[in-house]
Structure 1
Amino acid sequence: MSKVIQLDEATFKTEVLEGKGVVLVDFWASWCGPCKMLGPILEELSEEVTANICKVNVDEYSGLAAEYGIRSIPTMIVFKDGKKVDQLVGLMQKPALKEKLESY
């Protein structure tokens, strides 16, 4: 069962900005090839790390994408206790992404 959470504006606030611990937010779109390749990696990671993994569809929630200055996708932003701590642009392989998430 997937632990990846699909976000909208309201759930972004509760899951990410008011959340505790580490949250990775993947900004993606259905037409984006690298985003499609990243999806299964994030699904697997959601089972292996303590961080919450969330997704925001930039076509449906362009306001959130604009607010965080998303210029290219996939872009992943890491939040810790509601504060942005890192931004990762482009497709990342699972081992590198897992190591990064476990370092916060």
Structure 2
Amino acid sequence: MTADTASETSTEAPTEPIHIDGQSHLEEVIDDYDVVLTDFYADWCGPCKMIEPTVKTLAAETDAAVAKVDVDANQQLAAAFGVQGVPTLILFAGGEQAESIVGLQGEDQLRSLIQQYTE
């Protein structure tokens, strides 16, 4: 086995948020990446707009994949994860839901949350 073997089992996280289109797409992303921070948002939501630059920065600067789910376009998906308010951030690690945070969060808090699962 070579050093490259490890990279074949876990895909490197993208540097841009992934816009999710339905439950099967989200499941695919969760399966493809070790750690996925999922931002459930709505276009009309002020705090969602405020957290957007933070989410983009985390996608670019951390080892986590960042997924974005529009709750208006994916109401059943949001309901399946118990999303009642936006923004709701759900962190998946190893294919399982590990953390759930509701409301506007600071970049430092989210970065340290991701680091708990990526180190």
TM value normalised by structure 2: 0.82
SS in 1 for 2:32: coil
**Structure 2 match to 1:35:** 48
2:83 is the counterpart of 1:70? yes
Checking the alignment, whether the CA contact within 8 Å between 2:51 and 2:104 is kept in structure 1 is: yes
Task: Give the superposition deviation at 1:57.
Answer: 0.2
Checking the alignment, whether the CA contact within 8 Å between 2:33 and 2:65 is kept in structure 1 is: no
Looking at CA atoms only, which structure, 1 or 2, has the larger radius of gyration?
A: 2
**Structure 2 match to 1:85:** 98
2:28 is the counterpart of 1:14? yes
Q: What's the % identity of the aligned pairs?
A: 36
Q: Which has the higher contact order (CA 8 A, sep 6+)?
A: 1
Distance 1:24 1:99 in 2: 12
Letter of the 1:13 counterpart: E
Aligned residue pairs, count: 102
SS in 2 for 1:72: coil
- CA RMSD, 1 decimal: 1.0
Distance 2:26 2:72 in 1: 15
**Structure 2 match to 1:26:** 39
SS in 1 for 2:38: strand
